[in-house]
Amino acid sequence: MTQEDDLYFNIDSRLLLQLGENLLTNRAVALAELVKNSYDADATHVLVNLTNIKKPGGTIVVNDNGSGMPLSTFRNTWMRIATIDKENNPISQKYKRQKAGEKGIGRFACRRLSNKLRIKSVAITEDGHKEELSAFFDWTTFSPGSDVDKIPVKYTAKPVDDKTSIGTTLFLEDTKDSWNASDIKRLRNELTDLISPTTFKIGHEFEEAPNEYDPGFNVDLECPEFPTKEERLDSTFLKNAWAKLSGNVDENGHVTYEINVINKILNNINKNFERNEVFQYLKNAQLEIYLFVYLPNFFRGSEWGMSKAAEIGRDRGGIKVYADNFRVFGYGEKGDDWLKLDYDRARSISGVNEEVSGYLEVEDRPGLRLFMNRAVFGHVTFKRNSNPTLEITVNRERLIGNESFEDLTKFVRLGVDFATVLYSNEVTKKRYFDLEKEKVEEEERKKAEEELKKKAENARIKAEELTKKAEAERKKAEERAKIVESERKRAEEELRKVEEERRDAEINRRKAEEEERKKLDEFAKQRLDEALRKEKELLKAEEEARKKEEERRRKEEEVRLKTEEERKKSEKNRLQEIEEIRKTEDEIRKLKDEEIKRKEEKYEIESSQLRVLASTGTLVLIINHELRALIESMEEMNNNFPLIIRKMPAEEQFNYNEIQATFSDRIEMVKEFGSLAGLMVGIEGREKREWVILPIIESVFRPFKWYLNKFGVEYSINMPDNLRTQKMYRSELVSVLINLMSNAAKAVIGMNDRRIEVKGFEEGDYIHIWFLDSGRGLDKSLWEEVFEPFVSYSEPDLKFGVGTGLGLKIVSDIIKACGGNVQFINPPDDWKTCIEVMLPKRE
């Protein structure tokens, strides 16, 4: 019997599993889809609250003040899988926003996060009244094998008072996952970065807004168990950047870039760059990137310290992608390198895009200063209407790779290359300027110091001459004073004698008068007259003696005053010379203080880097201990391999035998690394001995043998087996050899000719060790500079690292401490570089 009828597709509940758990694996992406629904509903504020989420079974509440969802909307859109409502109504009603949600994924994001969903929404119905809708979903009832349309969802709809606030609240109950502090911190950062910085005004940093009457959109996160607030990277942080890069692609694909320097430590350069070619597959896109340089000068006086900023760079640095108003997840996250900034920097790509290479002002390799992800904070936005082929993957975490995405990537990377060239120009010019400035300052300082020394010596000589002259004048004054004193004493003696004679005359006169009174004769009178005459003569002599004494005293006072005046003048000259000497000494001291301060600042930077390097000793000990445990586990696994392989089919055993052989080789390599680490920090590294050099060189190369062979590096060791060092630490010798070997390896990798040779021989009182390589070579003008701390021209390497600029400084310090020397010398024919180590022969 023939049957004919119509059949219809049934939808298995497993579809919800595919659209929920299997599609949205990232919890932050799932919550972001719910936040987008609030944005589409013209909400201005969304609050996400997580409680009791340290273990599964907690609750997440998403509350917004949007337009809500009446029963009709709930029935026709929410309850309809893959509705085309947003295609039919792409613009929101109230604020005319371009809707961000797509394909109805938001509702199934709830299933990814929790087992149950409770909805409460208040909205205005078509007749103008307010209605409250409540619905409950138990996702566990939608089990695979059941029909979606056969499982009921309970709801209630009732009118409410007009004063009731509109909006929607989602209660995600019985959460599936546990959350820790790191999860919440990441979620805070993800929600903070969810909205494009150019969508709404944030402070005064961004000014563009899609509609003047749109009040904006704000997302807050509350989690009582992990209450730390999100750390917004506002203008106080961004003003520490070196520069801001802006880029624009107009509706025709024309591209322009602009660099504006913020931190004028290097130079105040503002430049524009317009690309000659247009993008075929990218229109209406904007770029804004803040470029950071983690050096102390850029953070001086800032509330954000350099170490804190660098930590933030490692956690949150990168360039994010925004489609219209919302972020496309996966780009600009920690560990993401979609622009290959870290990759190219690690591979020592020294050049940049040819389109911007014309901006190079000096001979340089700007690619070695390429801004890495940790040094860039920014975003690129594009209009989806103008770029329909820039599509987001179904799981909402990446963009589909095609020509449009390639243009977007090139747009951003070209801007970073442009900024790198300008920064490299300034760094190179500043380096040359600083070197020249240091030379000039050093010459001027030496010249000024010599002049001051000469001036001080002349002043000292002059002061000595004045002192001698003053001493001579003092002696002359003393001689004159002695003469005056002698004349005074002689005059006093004469005056004393005259006074005695006068007194004797007075006595004789009185006797005569007495005799006159007694005798009253002529003879007595004559004698009286004679006595009076003599008395007058004596008075006259006394008067003359007094005048002489006054004249003597006047002359003595003149001599004393003249001597005192000359002494004061001499003392004044001596004090002036002393003051000049003091001033000269102060100037010399000031110059020396400035020199000491300059050196201290230099040493402070060097010391901070050396302290970081010093801390690696403890880390090496820990790694060495863990490495031993790892080796034991690997050897145990390797011993079990034959038992496992024998149980396999015979045709597969050959392939797995090769795998085991490779695994064994890698175990040996790890052992060699462990042995090398032991040499650096073990007891042998702390005891001075006379060491045979050849086996130590072989032990240094041995751990890297597999790596060097992989990259086609040929190395040879040409050294007598009887060469011994004087007494020194083995760790010092190993450190010297590792630094020289790694420099040689980085120099040859990437070259067509990849050879390294180590030669050793005795000559005179020294042992000579040559490290030869066929790499890039080093300009003679840099042979001495590279031994300075933190100066490096070696190429970074994925195995050997970028380097600190201390390698050759450490080598030089160790060798010189042993009484030897290290230097670059002209290499023999067929070699590019030769560095020579000279160690004194053992006694």
Q: CB atoms < 10 A from the CB of 570, how many?
A: 18
Same domain, 105 and 252: no
Contact assessment for residue 424 and residue 371, using Cβ atoms and an 8 Å cutoff: no
- Percent of the chain whose predicted confidence (pLDDT) is above 90: 23
- DSSP letter for 77, please: I
Same domain, 145 and 96: yes
Cα angle for residues 509, 512, 518 (degrees, 5° grid): 145
Average pLDDT over residues 590-598: 74
DSSP secondary structure letters along 456-514:
HHHHHHHHHHHHHHHHHHHHHHHHHHHHHHHHHHHHHHHHHHHHHHHHHHHHHHHHHHH
The pTM (predicted TM-score) of the whole model is 0.54
Same domain, 807 and 747: yes
From edge to edge, which strands make up the β-sheet containing 376-382?
A: 270-274, 255-261, 243-249, 285-291, 376-382, 318-323, 326-328
Same domain, 703 and 813: yes
pLDDT-derived band at 807 (thresholds 50, 70, 90) equals confident
Same domain, 23 and 170: yes
Specify the 3-state DSSP secondary structure of 775.
coil
SS (H, E, C) 792-814: CCCCCECCCECCCCCHHHHHHHH
Q: Is 80 exceeded by the pLDDT of residue 763?
A: yes
- Domain stops at, among 527, 545, 572: 572
Average pLDDT over residues 198-220: 56
Q: What pLDDT does 209 receive?
A: 42
Q: Is 80 exceeded by the pLDDT of residue 529?
A: no
φ/ψ of residue 446, rounded to 5 = -65, -40
Average pLDDT over residues 489-509: 77
Same domain, 350 and 474: no
Same domain, 327 and 317: yes
Q: What pLDDT does 304 receive?
A: 82
Nearest to 823 by CA among 732, 724, 815, 831: 815
Q: Is 50 exceeded by the pLDDT of residue 602?
A: yes
In the block, residue with structure tokens 């026709």: 76
Q: What pLDDT does 730 receive?
A: 85
pLDDT in tens, 402-436: 999 999 999 999 999 998 888 888 887 777 777 77
Average pLDDT over residues 504-524: 70
Specify the 3-state DSSP secondary structure of 335.
coil
Average pLDDT over all residues of the chain: 79
Contact assessment for residue 118 and residue 174, using Cβ atoms and an 8 Å cutoff: no
Same domain, 508 and 428: no
654 versus 612: which is more confidently predicted?
A: 654
Specify the 3-state DSSP secondary structure of 726.
coil
Q: What pLDDT does 155 receive?
A: 92
- Percent of the chain whose predicted confidence (pLDDT) is above 70: 77
Residue 608: inside a domain: no
Task: Tell me the residue ranges of DSSP E strands in 676-813.
Answer: 688-689, 714-718, 728-729, 755-763, 766-773
Same domain, 425 and 443: no
Question: Which range, of 11-20, 137-146, 311-320, 429-438, averages the lowest pLDDT?
Answer: 11-20
Question: Which range, of 196-210, 292-306, 643-657, 676-690, averages the lowest pLDDT?
Answer: 196-210
pLDDT-derived band at 682 (thresholds 50, 70, 90) equals very low
Q: Is 70 exceeded by the pLDDT of residue 400?
A: yes
Say if residue 288 is exposed, middle or buried (CB neighbours under 10 Å; 0-12, 13-18, 19+): buried
pLDDT in tens, 340-353: 988 888 775 656 77
Residue 596: inside a domain: no
702 versus 638: which is more confidently predicted?
A: 702
Q: What pLDDT does 636 receive?
A: 67
In the block, residue with structure tokens 């006054």: 550
Residue 605: inside a domain: no
Q: Is 60 exceeded by the pLDDT of residue 799?
A: no
Nearest to 64 by CA among 36, 89, 91, 85: 36
Q: What pLDDT does 131 receive?
A: 93
pLDDT in tens, 213-229: 678 888 899 999 988 76
pLDDT-derived band at 13 (thresholds 50, 70, 90) equals low
- Alpha-carbon gap, residue 370 to 409, rounded angstroms: 16
- Domain stops at, among 199, 222, 245: 222
Residue 304: inside a domain: yes
Q: What pLDDT does 615 receive?
A: 47
Residue 617: inside a domain: no
132 versus 368: which is more confidently predicted?
A: 132
Residue 629: inside a domain: no
pLDDT-derived band at 809 (thresholds 50, 70, 90) equals confident
Residue 613: inside a domain: no
Q: What pLDDT does 133 receive?
A: 93
Specify the 3-state DSSP secondary structure of 122.
strand
pLDDT in tens, 782-792: 888 888 875 56
In the block, residue with structure tokens 């390589």: 773
Same domain, 122 and 32: yes
Q: What pLDDT does 683 receive?
A: 44
pLDDT in tens, 61-91: 999 999 999 998 888 888 777 666 667 778 8
Range of the domain at 523: 434-572
630 versus 432: which is more confidently predicted?
A: 432
Same domain, 146 and 278: no
Domain count, the chain: 4
Same domain, 138 and 242: no
- Domain stops at, among 381, 414, 433: 433
Q: Which residues, 6 or more positions from 523, have their beta carbon under 8 angstroms from its beta carbon? A: none
Q: What pLDDT does 288 receive?
A: 94
SS (H, E, C) 3-43: CCCCCCCCCECHHHHHHCCCCCCCHHHHHHHHHHHHHHCCC
Residue 586: inside a domain: no
- DSSP letter for 683, please: G
Q: Is 80 exceeded by the pLDDT of residue 718?
A: yes
Nearest to 186 by CA among 194, 174, 195: 194
Domain of 795, CATH number, reads 3.30.565.10
366 versus 407: which is more confidently predicted?
A: 407
- Alpha-carbon gap, residue 244 to 239, rounded angstroms: 9
